[in-house]
Amino acid sequence: MIVVFKKEATDKQINILIKRVKELGLKPMVSKGSERTIVGVIGPEDIVRLHPLDVFEGVDNVMPVLAPYKLVSREFKKQGSVISVNKNIKIGTKKIIVIAGPCSIETKKQLKEIAVKVKKSGASILRGGAFKPRTSPYAFQGLGEEGLKILKGVSEDTGLATVTEVMDTRDVHLVAKYADVFQVGARNMQNFSLLKEIGQTKKPVILKRGLSATIKELLMSAEYILSEGNFNVILCERGIRTFEDFTRNTLDVSAVPVIKMLSHLPVVVDPSHAAGKWGLVNPLSKAAVACGCDGLLVEVHSNPCRSLSDGSQQLLPENFTRLMKEIKKVAEAIGRDI
């Protein structure tokens, strides 16, 4: 159920309702919009039917949320959410945010060189994995905490915000110490313990769509994070498994407008892991921007042939510069900025 307050409702009226919701053994989730406050009431709907909430002062309307994902749904919040990474970077506005960097953090020199270049081309967030989800246990697994320290150091040197993957519940607080945004990778989209742990923090999180997950399953995973109190979720379409094997995955561009219709959360697109081939990253980025994404996540490496992971899909910095120039035109054509 959603309780929508009148514009003129006071904090006192809202707090009285919250207290009542808790007394009934239900969980109130408060969303304070610029216009009005909405309280999501999580728990069995028959309790609300037996104990009506629309009798409380200041309440405008009480509505059921029909979708199985409640807090994530457009029914819960009509306006698109804007997620603040820091005071300058917001995801979900007119400006499309570009996140770029190598697949893995390898050395300080490697990361710094790439960071300086992607910043110059217009990226505002640096990506780089310190904990790598590799198919083979014998492949490079990432530098762990040493990688996180490098990431933090490069962030301080360049002023770029950072995003990095967290794979294990035990590392959530460690990663939180070093990075501005968590990434939950495709393989962990349904690691519910991890989602709940991240939900206990307030840090923004990019939640990637699982390799074979439906949009509904992605939204249900996001619901796990929001239901723990962390509303700072950014969804990421990164390609799904289909019968096509020319590309690593198939970029589901339709996921962008579909998610926008079903949810208020911002959506970014990762064309690098979708394509698996660097030559496709530029056209797929244009398609993603044209479809209305709020950001892009692009892998860039100064020497892809020698990189320790995902060499074939990482763009050279000069190709990233070209991509930034070209997507700017697409963004402008649909009334967005880069």
Give the binding site for ligand PEP (CB under 6 A): 103, 129, 133, 185-187, 208, 238, 270, 273
| Chain centre distance of CA 181 | 9
Closest CB to ligand PEP among 103 and 255?
103
Closest CB to ligand PEP among 77 and 238?
238
Q: Which does 133 bind (CB under 5 to 8 A by kind): Mn ion, ligand PEP, none?
A: ligand PEP
Q: Which residues bind Mn ion (CB under 5 A)?
A: 103, 310
CB of 14 to Mn ion, least distance (A): 44
Closest CB to ligand PEP among 36 and 187?
187
Contacts of 324 (CB under 8 A, 6+ apart): 98, 121, 122, 123, 338
Q: What are 256's two structure tokens?
A: 């962008």
Q: Which does 171 bind (CB under 5 to 8 A by kind): ligand PEP, Mn ion, none?
A: none
Cα–Cα distance measured from residue 190 to residue 289, given in angstroms and rounded to the nearest whole number? 27
Q: Which does 185 bind (CB under 5 to 8 A by kind): ligand PEP, Mn ion, none?
A: ligand PEP
Q: What are 191's two structure tokens?
A: 């690691």
Closest CB to ligand PEP among 44 and 133?
133
Pick the closest to residue 296 from 110, 122, 60, 50 (CA basis): 122
Q: Which does 52 bind (CB under 5 to 8 A by kind): ligand PEP, Mn ion, none?
A: none
* Residue 100 identity: A
Query: What are the residues facing 59 on neighbouring strands?
Result: 5
The residue ranges of DSSP E strands in the chain, in sequence order, are: 2-5, 27-32, 37-42, 59-63, 83-84, 90-91, 97-101, 125-127, 161-165, 181-184, 205-208, 233-237, 267-269, 295-299
CB of 273 to ligand PEP, least distance (A): 4
Q: Which does 102 bind (CB under 5 to 8 A by kind): Mn ion, ligand PEP, none?
A: none
Cite the DSSP H helix spans in 36-107.
45-50
CB of 189 to Mn ion, least distance (A): 16
Q: Which does 208 bind (CB under 5 to 8 A by kind): ligand PEP, Mn ion, none?
A: ligand PEP
Residue nearest ligand PEP by beta-carbon distance: 185
Cα–Cα distance measured from residue 157 to residue 324, given in angstroms and rounded to the nearest whole number? 23
Q: Which does 186 bind (CB under 5 to 8 A by kind): Mn ion, ligand PEP, none?
A: ligand PEP
CB of 300 to ligand PEP, least distance (A): 12
- Determine how β-strand 181-184 pairs with β-strand 233-237: unpaired
CB of 185 to ligand PEP, least distance (A): 3
User: Do residues 83 and 233 make contact, with C-beta atoms less than 8 angstroms apart?
Assistant: yes
CB of 129 to ligand PEP, least distance (A): 5
Q: Which does 117 bind (CB under 5 to 8 A by kind): Mn ion, ligand PEP, none?
A: none
CB of 67 to ligand PEP, least distance (A): 25
Query: What are the residues facing 207 on neighbouring strands?
Result: 184, 235
Closest CB to ligand PEP among 134 and 328?
134
The residue ranges of DSSP E strands in 188-311, in sequence order, are: 205-208, 233-237, 267-269, 295-299
CA distances from 99 to 124, 323, 328 (A): 6, 13, 15
CB of 235 to ligand PEP, least distance (A): 12
